[in-house]
Structure 1
Amino acid sequence: MPQLRLALAQVDAVLGDLPGNARTVRDWTARAAADGAQLVAFPEMVLTGYPVEDLALRRSFVDASVAALQQLATDLDADGYGELPVVVGYLDRARGRDADTDGDGVSEDGRTGVPKGMPQNCAAVLHQGRVAARYAKHHLPNYGVFDEFRIFVPGHDLTVVRVDGVDVALAICEDLWQDGGPVAKAREAGAGLLLVLNGSPYERDKDDTRLALAAHRAREAGCPLAYLNLVGGQDELVFDGDSVVVGPDGAVLARAPQFTEHLLVADLDLPQATRPRPDVADVVHVVLCDEPALAREPRPAECAPRLDPVGEVWNALVTGLSGYARKNGFTSVVFGLSGGIDSAVVAALAADALGGRNVVAVSMPSEHSSQHSRDDAADLASRVGADYRIQPISGIVEGFERELTLTGLAAENLQARARGVLIMALSNSEGHLVLATSNKSELAVGYSTLYGDSVGGFAPLKDVPKTLVWQLARWRNAEAERLGQVPPIPEASITKTPSAELRPGQTDQDSLPPYELLDEVLEHYVVGAQGRSELLDAGFPADVVDHVVTLVDRAEWKRRQFAPGPKISSVAFGRDRRLPVTSRWRESDAPTVPADAARQGRHLTADPASAVPTKEYS
C-alpha cells in the first residue's frame, strides 16, 4: 500500500494581493518540501484571496489571476520544487462545455444568465513548471454571505491526479456540503484520497458540524478525506483554519489548530491506484507519477486541541480585528473608553490583536459621567498598556447648547455626537482605525446614537449579543489568571449596571427588557427569522415581543450605516439578513394567536415599564 506524505498549508491570504499570495505559496511550499511532503495543498482561491465578490466579473482581475498562476508554476520550478505537486486555489474562466462558447448568454450545459466573462472558482495542480491539472467548483453557494451562483460558472468534471501511485480527487468547499457531485463521483472513480480546498467562514459551533460532515463524506467516498481551510480575517468574515484529515471510517487522523497559520503534515497509507474505469463519465485523469515512493517511518499524527466555545469566539474576534486593521494598512486603533463592559471588552480585544501600545483609549467624560466609570476606564487602560487620554466634552456640549435649545433625547444624543467628533478627529490627525463599541443587542434595537457612539471603521462586537459580551469578559480574565497574567478587565466593569450615562441615573433597562430576555427574543426573531406568532408560541410575553420587534424593525436604516464587524453567528447583520429600509410591514399586522397557558411563565419577564415603546436613540 503506497504511503503519501500530505502537507496542508493553512494560510492567510490577502484579497487582491496576487504577488504577496504567490510569495506565501512559495514560502510554505519550501517548508512542506523540507518536511518531505509528496503533495502540498493550499486553500480555496488562495492566490486571489477569498471571497472576491464582484471582482470576479472584471476581466482584468481574472486575467491577472491566470497570469499569476502561470508565473507561480514557473517560480516554484525555479525554486527547485518543480517535482513537488502543489494544489492552489485561484480564479479562472470557464472552458469547454462549462462555457458560453457562442456568446448567447447560455452556457453549453444550458444555464442562462452566464456571469460576465464566465469566471470560475478553480483549483490547479502545479508540477514541473506548468499547470498540470485544473478543477472547477461544481456547487456554487447562494445563501447567507455567499452569492457565487451570480458570479461564477459551475464546473462539471471531476479531476483525479495520480501522485506517487495514489489517485487524488479534488473538490472545493461547497462540493462537500451538497449530496452527490464530486464526492459520489470520487468513489466511482476509485480515488484513494479526496482533497477538499475550502474558504469556509467561522460560525459558532461550526467546527463540530464540519467534522461530522467530513467524516460522513469520507465514508461516502470510501477513502480518506483532507479538509483544508483558510485562516484570517477578510472584511466581515473570519476564517478559522481548523483543517482536518479523516479516515474512510470517519476517524480523525490529523487536525490543525484554529485561528493560526499552520502546516499540517500527515503520513497516509493509501490504496494503490488502478487503471481508470472507462464506464465512469465526467472524470479527467492526470498522471504525474505512477510509481509509489519508497516507504519511510511515518511521522506521529498531529491533533491540535480544540478551544472551548467562548475562547473560540474570543479568538475569532481577535483574528477578525487584526486582519481588518493589518490588511487595510492600520497599525493602531482609537475608541471611546467609558468604563463600561462593551468598551472594556473592545479594549482587551484590541490589545490582543495589535498590542496594548497600539491602542488609543480616550475617556470623554460629561457632567453625567460617574467617577467610578472614569476610574474603571483608567484602570483598564493601565492593565492593557493602552495610550490613555482624557478629553472632557462639557465645553463642546455647552457651546452647542448656547446656540441651540435642546432637551431630552436631542440633548442626550449631542453628548454622544460630541464624542464621535473627537474620536474621528483623532483618527484623521493621527491615522488610527476608529472602533465602534456597540454590540449586536444594541444594534438590533437601535440603542446607539447615529454619528455618535456608532462612528467607526470597524465594530468588533457587531455580531456579539450583550450576554455573550459578559461571558467573553469573564473568559478573558480567567485565561489571564490561568497564564499568570493580570486580568485585563476590571471586575467593576463586568458587574456594574449597564448605562449610557447620558442623563442622571440612566440605565439600559429604562428602555429595554433585561438583556437575558432581550437576547433570547433576538435569537428567535433575527437569527431564527420567526414572526410574532412563532415568538408567542415560544412562550415570550406579548408585550415584550411587540416592544422588541418594533424596535428591531425601526432600526434597519441605522444598521445600514453601521461599520463592518466580524461575523460569528449564522445570521449576522449585513449580507446574512437583507431587509428593506422602506417598508410598512410590521409584525403587529400579522394574524394574532390567542394566548394559552403554555405561553405563560416560561421566560424571564420584563419590568412593566420597559414593555412600553419608548424613545430610541437615533
Structure 2
Amino acid sequence: MTDTPRHLTIALAQTTQRMGDLAANAAAMLDWRAKAHGADLIVFPELQLTGYPPEDLILKPEFVRRAMEAAERLADATADGGPAMLFGSVHEEAGRVHNAVILAEGGRIVARRFKHELPNYGTFDEKRVFAPGPLPGPIDWRGVRLGVPICEDIWLEAVTAHLLERGAELLLVPNGSPFELDKDDLRRRLVEARVTDTGLPLAYLNRVGGQDELAFDGSSFVVNADGTMALQMPDWDEALAITNWEKGADGWRCVPGERATLAPYPEDIYQAMVSGLRDYVNGNGFPGVILGLSGGIDSALSAAVAVDAIGAERVRCVMMPSKYTSQDSLDDAEGCARLLGCRLDTVSIVPGVDALAKMLPDASPLAQENIQARLRMVTLMALSNSGGEMLLTTGNKSEMSVGYATLYGDMAGGYSVLKDAYKTTVFALSRWRNANRPRGALGCDGPVMPQRVIDKPPTAELRPNQKDQDSLPPYDVLDRMLESLVEKERSVAETAAATGEPETLVADIEKKLLRAEYKRRQAPPGVKLGPRNFGRDRRYPITNAFHTGD
C-alpha cells in the first residue's frame, strides 16, 4: 500500500487552447509540463486537448477518435518520470461521449472521470453533444484521494458532496469559464460555498484566450479549507503556478503564494475585447483588419482595440466621406489614426451616391441614407477582398438593440468588437483607454483618440445636422431601459417602474427591440461581455407576436 505523502507540489497551468488542433494543444501541454520540472502533478483546464467549447465537433466520430488517440500519446509521454498530467479531453465509452478529465503517469492513463453536471443555459449547450457521467468518485493517486469535479460540477452541491462522502482530500477543478461582468466575485462566492460545505481546499483552474464569441480570462485561484485565499493567478495571461501543499492534522493545505491583482472595471471589459479579437483574427489566419473610421467614438474605440490586439501595422482604417461629412469628422478620423499609428486611406462615396441617385430617383429619404451605409460596406469589402484583411464592424449594443443600424451596411463584416457594449460603456471605455495603457497592449502609451471624439454628440452623418438623439432617447436613458429589458428580461411596466421612464417610451423601445431581431440574427459575431449577449445567450424567435407593452 502506498504511504500517504505529507507534501505535494502541484503545477497549475492556466493556458490557452486552439480549437480542434489536437497536435498543437498536446505539444503546448508538454512544453508546460517541461517548465513544471520537479512538480508531482501538472493540471490543465477543461477540454485542454480539444479546445472549449467544441460544440458540434463532438458529433463527428472522427474527431472523437483522434482526440482519444492524442490522449493516449500524451500518456505515453509521461513515461519519462516527469510530473503526472491531469488534463481535459473527450472520451467515448459504450457509445456515449463524455467531457472527461484524464490522469496520466508512468506512460499510461491511470484514471478517468466524467463531467456529471452538463450546463445547458446561456452560452452553454453541453447536453446537446455530451452524455453526463455518473457521480464521480475520488482518484486514488500516490496515496492521496483527489476529487476532480469539472467546471459545472461545483455549481451544484451533489458532486462535491459525493466526493466528500467517498473520502476526497482536496478538490482540483478544471474549468472553461468565460468572462462576463462581475464573474470574479461570482466564482469566489461559489468556491467559498463549496469549501464551506466540504471542509476541503479547492484549486479553481481556468483557461485563457478567445474562442469565437467567448473570451476566457483565467483568474485561477486556490482557497484553503479555512476559507482563506492561498493563491490568485493573473487574468488574461497564460501562467504557470507551482503550488506547494502540506498535510497536517486537519488535512491538506496550500502554502500561500502569489496574489495577482485582477483588472477592475472597465479594464476587464477592454481586455476581453482585446483577447477576443486577437484570437479570432489570428486563429482564422487573417493578416489584419480593415474598418471604416468615421471620426465617431464607436469606430475610434474599435480601431484602438484592434491596434492593442494585433498591432498598428495590421490595422487599416478608411475614411469614406459623403457630402454630409463634417470637417470635424475628417479631422478627428485623421487624429485617431495618427495617435494609433495606423494606416488611414480616404475614399469618397460621393460618386457612388450620385450614380445611385440617377438609378433610383424615387428612393425614399430613409433609403437614401441606407444607400450611403451600404456603399461604405461595398467599398470596405472591395478593399478587404483585395488585401485579405477581415472587415471589422463598429456598431454597439445600444444601436443593435433598437435596429439603429443598416442591414448589409454598417452591420456587415467578419467581427464586431462592440457587439455586447452599450453606448454608455463605449464612452467609459474610451475615457479609460485615453488615460491608461492596458497590460499587454500593442498600441500606444497615451491617448488613442482626440478628446473631441468623446465629447461631441454622436451622429451617423447621413443627412444634414443629424444627431442620434433625433431618433433615440439620450443614451444613458436608453441603456438603462435596454439593460432592464434585455439583461433582466423585465416587462414594460417593470422597466418603467425600475427606471422611472414613461411606459409609453419603454413600450416603444421594447417594440424596436423585438422588431430588430431579424437584423441581429444576421450580425457578425462579437465578444460576450455581459450576462445576456445577442447570439448564444439570448435566442429569441424572429417571427414573434408577443410583447409586454399592452
In the aligned structure 1, how far is the partner of 2:449 from the partner of 2:242?
39
Q: Decide which of 198, 205, 212 is 1:228's aligned counterpart.
A: 205
Q: Paired residue for 2:304?
A: 348
TM-score by length of 1: 0.85
Matches within 5 A, 1:204-603: 204-270=181-247, 301-405=257-361, 406-480=363-437, 485-538=445-498, 539-589=500-550
Contact 1:227 1:244 in 2 (8 A): yes
Shift of 1:191: 2.1
Q: Deviations over 1:150-181 (max 9, x none)?
A: 22111114242344443211110000101222
In the aligned structure 2, how far is the partner of 1:354 from the partner of 1:10?
22
3-state secondary structure, aligned to 1:200 = coil
Q: Decide which of 52, 58, 75 is 1:50's aligned counterpart.
A: 52
Contact 2:231 2:256 in 1 (8 A): no
Within the alignment, does 1:185 sit opposite 2:141 as a pair? no
Q: Paired residue for 1:594?
A: none
Contact 2:267 2:438 in 1 (8 A): no
Shift of 1:74: 1.4
3-state secondary structure, aligned to 2:179 = coil
Shift of 1:299: 7.7
Q: Paired residue for 1:91?
A: 90
Shift of 1:38: 1.2
1:572–1:194 CA distance, 2 compared to 1 (3 A) = same
The farther-off stretch of 531-540 and 43-52 is 531-540
3-state secondary structure, aligned to 1:8 = strand
In the aligned structure 1, how far is the partner of 2:541 from the partner of 2:293?
33
Structure 2 counterpart of 1:154, one-letter code:
P
Structure 2 counterpart of 1:441, one-letter code:
S
Structure 2 counterpart of 1:449, one-letter code:
T
Q: Paired residue for 1:606?
A: none
Q: Decide which of 18, 21, 29 is 1:14's aligned counterpart.
A: 18
Within the alignment, does 1:129 sit opposite 2:120 as a pair? no
3-state secondary structure, aligned to 2:149 = strand
Contact 1:134 1:159 in 2 (8 A): no
3-state secondary structure, aligned to 1:90 = strand
Q: Paired residue for 1:611?
A: none
TM-score by length of 2: 0.95
List runs of 5+ in structure 2 lacking aligned partners.
none
List runs of 5+ in structure 1 lacking aligned partners.
96-116, 275-291, 293-297, 590-618
Q: Deviations over 1:265-290 (max 9, x none)?
A: 2112135899xxxxxxxxxxxxxxxx
Q: Deviations over 1:236-295 (max 9, x none)?
A: 011110000110022110111001111122112135899xxxxxxxxxxxxxxxxx9xxx
Identity in percent: 45
In the aligned structure 2, how far is the partner of 1:448 from the partner of 1:558?
8
Within the alignment, does 1:155 sit opposite 2:155 as a pair? no
The farther-off stretch of 262-271 and 324-333 is 262-271
Contact 2:78 2:84 in 1 (8 A): no
Contact 1:123 1:135 in 2 (8 A): yes
Structure 2 counterpart of 1:58, one-letter code:
K
Contact 1:44 1:90 in 2 (8 A): yes
Shift of 1:427: 1.1
The farther-off stretch of 153-162 and 330-339 is 153-162
In the aligned structure 2, how far is the partner of 1:502 from the partner of 1:138?
54
- Indicate the structure (1 or 2) with the bigger Cα radius of gyration: 1
1:481–1:147 CA distance, 2 compared to 1 (3 A) = closer
Contact 1:39 1:163 in 2 (8 A): no
RMSD: 1.9
Shift of 1:467: 0.1
Contact 1:525 1:535 in 2 (8 A): yes
In the aligned structure 2, how far is the partner of 1:159 from the partner of 1:68?
25
What is the number of equivalent residue pairs in this alignment? 540
Structure 1 counterpart of 2:136, one-letter code:
L
In the aligned structure 2, how far is the partner of 1:199 from the partner of 1:300?
24
Contact 2:89 2:100 in 1 (8 A): yes
Shift of 1:537: 2.9
Q: Paired residue for 2:118?
A: 140
Contact 1:4 1:38 in 2 (8 A): yes
